[in-house]
Structure 1
Amino acid sequence: MNTNFLKYSMGILVVLAIFSCDNDTETSVDEEQEEDTGTVVSGYTYAIVDSGVSDFYSSDAIISEPSESDAFYGQDATYNGNQPSYTDNGDGTVTDNITGLMWQQDMGEKMSYADAVALIDDFNLGDYTDWRIPTIKELYSLANFTGRCYGDDAVDMFIDENYFVQPIGDESIGEREIDGQTWSVTEYVGLTMNGDETVFGYNFVDGRLKGYPKYDPSDGSPNTMYFRMVRGNVTYGENIFTDNGDGTITDSATGLMWQQADNGETYDWESGLAYAESLSLGDHSDWRMPNAKELQSIVDYTRSPQTTSSPAIDPLFTCTPILDYEGNSGQYGYYWTSSPLQDGPTPYTDAVYFCFGEAKGEMNGQLLDVHGAGAQRNDPKAGSVDDYPDTFGPQGDIRKVYNFVRCVRDVN
C-alpha cells in the first residue's frame, strides 16, 4: 500500500512550518524564489501525486474491493500513493504539498499560445514574478481521475475544485461544455492531422491529454485555450533513469522501478492486470500495472515516430513495434494503465491508456496522427478482438481493447 506514508506525513509538517513564515518583505520573496530547486516533501524531485481513485471496477460496473486472488485485483484503487495535498495561500495561488509546485488558482480567459508566452514575462501573482507556463508533466500532476463527463457535457471535474477554479466551454458561442482544455508549454515534436503545429494540453473537464493544433486549419487564426501558470520545483518532470542490468529501470526522481521491455503481448484490461500482478522480474515479485500518472511520468515528449523514428520514451526502454491497421510499419502501441475514465451513459466500461506511438484516428476516411505520440485516451476494458480496431469520438480515435502492459513497482 502507501509505502511513502511516513515521508509524506513528516513532509506535511515541514511544509506547514515553511508556509507559516511571513514572507511579506522583498528580501524573503527573493530568497524563496532562489531556493525553488526541487526539494519537495515526498523526498523525490518528481513525486507522483496519486490519481485519487478509491472505487473498484469490473469491466462495466463498480464492485467491492477484490482480494488478491480475485479478478480485477491490482487496479488503481488497490494501491495508494502520495495522496493529493494542497494549501490555498489566500492570494490567488495554491501550493501542491507533494510536488513543491505553486499554481495559479484561477486561469481567467482563454488565450493563444503566443499571447501566453508573451504574458509570462510580466506575470505577477502573489508577489512572485518567477512564473512559467507548465510543461505537460507539471500540468498532469494536477489530474484527478475521480472526474466524469457525459459526452460533450461536464459532470465532475478532473481537478480538485476545492482549491482550483476550472471553467467549462461556453455553449453560447458554440463551444461544448468539455471545451475547457488547458494548454501546456510542451509542443509536439511532430505534426498532427494534416500537418498542424501542435501543443499538448490536458482537459480537466473530460480527462484526456491530447495534442491540440496551435492554429485553426480553416483560416490560420490562432486557437485559444486556458493556461494555468506555475512556479517552484524547476526540476519537476525530469527523470533520473538507471539501467539495473536485469531487465529493470529505476527512476530516482520518482522512486519507481520499471519493466524495461514489454513482453510483446497485448491484453484486455482484466488480463493485463493479472499479468502485471503475476510478473517476477529482477528478483522482485511486487509488480503491478501503473496508474495513469505513473505511466505518464516515463513518456518522453522530445521523441516520436515522426521525428526520431522511435516511440515517445527514453531509449533505455524497449517498445514492441507494430503495424497500424492499414499495415504501415514504424508504429508503436497503446499501453494500459490501471486508472478508469468515466464518460457517457456507461461510465465504468473504459480505462486509460497512453500512446507511445502516434495517437491515430480516422478522419474523412484518412488514417492520421490526430493527437500526437504521448497522448492519453481511453479504451473499452473488454470486447471481442474481432470487433477491433474501431473508431471513437470526433477525431475517430482508433480503439483496440487489446493493449500492451509495462509494469512498475515502488523502489521502497
Structure 2
Amino acid sequence: MIFNYLLKKFSCALTFVLVLSVSSVAYSQQTCIDYIIDDVPDARYIVHADSTVTDKLTGLMWARCTVGHSGQSCELGEDAKFNWRDAMQAAADSEWADYRDWRIPNVDEYRSLVNYSCRSPAINLAIFPNVQSRNNFYWTAEISLLSGRDDTAPLFDFLDGIQNSNFRTGLGKVMLVREVE
C-alpha cells in the first residue's frame, strides 16, 4: 500500500517535470511566419572561416558568437554577462579573429539584424547561431536618459527585436561589431 502511494506520487512528479521540460523547449524554439518576407536572408551575409560575418547591406562585420562563446557554430564556451561598463571594456579589449577595433553595437545596428518574420529569437539563426531570446538582453553602446537619469542604458531584446532599458549596473550579454575597411 505504501509502495503504491509512493509510486503514484513519483509518477505525478515525473509527469510534472516532463511537461515542464517539454514546455520550456517549445518556448525556446524559434518560430517564423512563411508569408512575411524574410528581410535578412542568408545571401545578405558573408560568413567567414574566422567566425565573423560581413553584412553586405550595412558594411558592418559582426562576431558570429556572443562574447563567451566560440567555434564556427558558437558551440564552445558559456554565456558571459556583464554590467554596462564591463561590457564596453570587454568589447574594447576583444581580439576576436585578430581584429582589435571591436565595439558594442548601437540600437540601429542591432535593428538591422532583426528578422521580423521570426520571433524567439527574431534573428537569422543560420548566421548568428547562439543568439538567444529568453531572458537574454544585449547591451548597446548608448546611454539612455530615462526620466532624466544618466545611470541607464538601452538593451536589445531579440525575442521580438525590441529595445529595452536597464540600469547600467544590471547584467547583459555582448555582441561585437566593427566597421569593414
- TM-score category of the 2 structures, normalised to the smaller one: 0.5 to 0.7
Matched residue, 1:256:
60
In structure 2, the residue matched to 1:4 is: none
Tell me the residue number matched to 2:154.
Answer: 352
8 Å Cα contact 2:137/2:173 also seen in 1: yes
Q: Do 1:333 and 1:404's aligned partners in 2 also have CA atoms closer than 8 Å?
A: yes
Worse-superposed segment, 263-272 or 293-302: 293-302
For residue 8 of structure 2, what is the aligned residue in structure 1? none
RMSD: 2.2
Q: Identity rate of aligned residues, in percent?
A: 28
Q: Are 1:403 and 2:138 counterparts?
A: no
Equivalent residue, structure 1, for 2:122: 312
Q: Structure 1-normalised TM-score?
A: 0.30
Shift of 1:321: 4.6
Q: Which runs of 4+ in 1 moved over 3 A?
A: none
Aligned partner (choices 23, 27, 51) of residue 247 of structure 1: 51
- Give, as a single letter, the amino acid of the residue that structure 1 aligns with 2:130: C
Q: Structure 1: how far apart are the matches of 2:135 and 2:46? A: 23
Contact 2:40 2:124 in 1 (8 A): no
* Cross-structure match for 1:375: 162
How far the C-alpha of 1:317 sits from its partner, in A, is 0.4
| Higher percent of residues as helix | 2
State the distance in 1 between where 2:108 and 2:40 align: 14
Q: Which has more radius of gyration?
A: 1
SS in 2 for 1:338: coil
- Alignment check: 8 A CA contact 1:302 1:312 kept: yes
Structure 1 counterpart of 2:116, from 301, 309, 332: 301
Aligned residues: 132
Q: Which residue of 1 aligns with 2:88?
A: 273
Secondary structure (helix, strand or coil) at the match of 1:277 reads helix
Aligned to 1:266, the other structure's residue is in SS state: coil
Give the superposition deviation at 1:344: 1.4
Alignment of 1:37-186 (within 5 A): none
Determine which structure has greater relative contact order: mean sequence separation of CA pairs < 8 Å that are 6+ residues apart, divided by chain length.
2
- Extract unaligned runs of 5+ from structure 2: 1-31, 34-38, 69-78
How much does 1:341 deviate?
1.5
Partner secondary structure for residue 109 of structure 2: helix
Deviation at 1:302, TM superposition (A): 1.4
